[in-house]
Amino acid sequence: MRYMNIKRYSRWIWGALLVGAVACSPYERLSKTDLSYRYGAETPLQVDSKVLDEGGQMRVFLDIKASKLGDDATLATLNERYGFSYRITPSYRSKETIVSVPSLEFSGFHGRNSDGTFHVSFPLAKIGTPSALMVLTATEKASGKAVMFDIPISFADEDLKTKYALFPIRHNYPAGPYVTTRDTVVIRSLRNDAQPLMVRYFSDAFRPALPPMAITNSIKNRPEETQTYQLRPGEVMKFVADGLYFAQEDTNSREGFSFVVNPNRFPRVTRATELIEPLIYITTRKEREKLLSSENPKLALDAFWLKLSNNNREYARRMIREYYTRVQEANALFTTFKQGWMTDQGMTYIIFGPPQKMLRYNDREEWYYEKSASMPEVYFTFLKRPTIFTDENYELVRYNEFDRVWYASVEQWRKGIVRR
């Protein structure tokens, strides 16, 4: 893993907001809010964010995908359908509101993609604290329905993740959490003190996540560094190959920012090896070895799915469509320093589907699945474990007791019963 005459907030307005902030507010703690719609493919509004330091203030970039709007929708259409607001709070558990903006206007409009994603931005004053949480609310005006999006913000000057970002070469908004080998991008900074960067390339050698009953940590392995080169901000990015890149001003420091370069059609998987690898969660070692060693992996894959479906081609097509749709969604949702399907959250999403309920805290996420005719009630905890590559790394808390629900879910997949 931005339209009309829009007024820029002036500095004195931001100052008034800060002075008028109160210690307590009527807002509920965000930790009590079910955020499972963030992982729902059918959610009518999805928002991705990137916060960058401009020097005197921050700038919040939003990628807003509104699936209900038509192909010819403009920013005016978006603003007619939805109202936006936000508040700044210390944490997920806090009721305190530091800043409140009840009606948000976007001072920057950076275009709209062919998939309907709007690229907008707005300024944010620094508030004299190392970090805080922005709660962005989008309200559908006709129905009054509201959805909230949490945006952690670092105000630390030395945080390179807010100082630099990848930008598409012809656009003035940051790229998403990942890019592909076909993308032409540059590293830019919105500050005036940008430095030459050392870019380190690592081969993509991470293991896929282990099952939830495997106590061994699934991401202890470190990728192999294969090349280092210097790059100045504004230079066209040169990709050595697919894999993980880590840029630093000082290689003796841990501070840096990373991005993953993926094959051209990512988050989709289309090549035979890309289709075989995510099957690790529902196959035996012998089955995988047979698929990988086949002279014609495509035919071997077809034979694998046909065997699971008892040679029912329509049934096999449905299973293939469902499984790889989940892989694609996991890639889009959970890619950080490795592809999303390989992460603990991606694995859980593929096998169990989107959670019926999701709670988020400063240090963890909790996913809840309701009891069904074939499955017991179960919930998973993902602890937030920042690494030098990303702050958004979540590790599953594993227990031996998960073996029953895991094997039952895998068996359902192998029988074609995939929806809870």
Q: Is residue 1 part of a domain?
A: no
The two counts, helices (H) then strands (E), for the chain are 9, 19
Do residue 264 and residue 389 come from a single domain? yes
Residue 217 is predicted with a pLDDT of 54
- Reported as a single tens digit per residue, the pLDDT across 309-340 is 888 899 899 999 999 999 999 999 999 888 99
Do residue 82 and residue 15 come from a single domain? yes
- Please say whether the beta carbons of 287 and 280 come within 8 A: no
Q: Is residue 74 part of a domain?
A: yes
Residue 373 is predicted with a pLDDT of 76
Residue 167 is predicted with a pLDDT of 95
Do residue 205 and residue 85 come from a single domain? no
Domain at 96, CATH number: 2.60.40.10
Do residue 91 and residue 235 come from a single domain? no
What pLDDT band is residue 419 in, cutting at 50, 70 and 90? low
Residue 240 is predicted with a pLDDT of 73
Higher pLDDT, 322 or 223: 322
Average pLDDT over residues 363-385: 92
What pLDDT band is residue 24 in, cutting at 50, 70 and 90? very low
Q: Is residue 176 part of a domain?
A: no
Do residue 233 and residue 379 come from a single domain? yes
Q: How many CA atoms lie within 13 A of 76 on its CB side?
A: 4
Among 98, 131, 154, the domain boundary falls at 154
Among 101, 135, 154, the domain boundary falls at 154
Do residue 27 and residue 140 come from a single domain? yes
Residue 218 is predicted with a pLDDT of 47
Do residue 302 and residue 197 come from a single domain? yes
Q: Which of 12-21, 38-47, 131-140 has the least mean pLDDT? A: 12-21
Higher pLDDT, 9 or 176: 176
- Reported as a single tens digit per residue, the pLDDT across 248-274 is 999 888 889 898 898 888 999 998 889
The pLDDT > 90 percentage for the chain reads: 64
What is the value of pTM for the model shown?
Answer: 0.88
- CA 171-390-114 angle, to 5 degrees, is 30
Among 102, 125, 154, the domain boundary falls at 154
Helix (H, G, I), strand (E, B) or coil at 53: strand
Tokens describing residue 58: 């921050």
Residue 253 is predicted with a pLDDT of 87
Residue 267 per-residue DSSP state: T
Q: Helix 313-334 and helix 344-352: axis angle, to 10°?
A: 150
Q: Where are the alpha helices (DSSP H) in 277-372?
A: 285-293, 297-308, 313-334, 344-352
**In angstroms, rounded to a whole number, what is the distance separating the alpha carbons of residues 167 and 169?**
6
**CA-closest candidate to residue 416, choices 280, 342, 314, 274:** 314
Do residue 214 and residue 144 come from a single domain? no
Residue 21 is predicted with a pLDDT of 35
Total domains in the chain come to: 2
Average pLDDT over residues 350-364: 95
Do residue 378 and residue 277 come from a single domain? yes
Do residue 78 and residue 198 come from a single domain? no
What pLDDT band is residue 26 in, cutting at 50, 70 and 90? low
Residue 128 belongs to what domain range?
A: 11-154
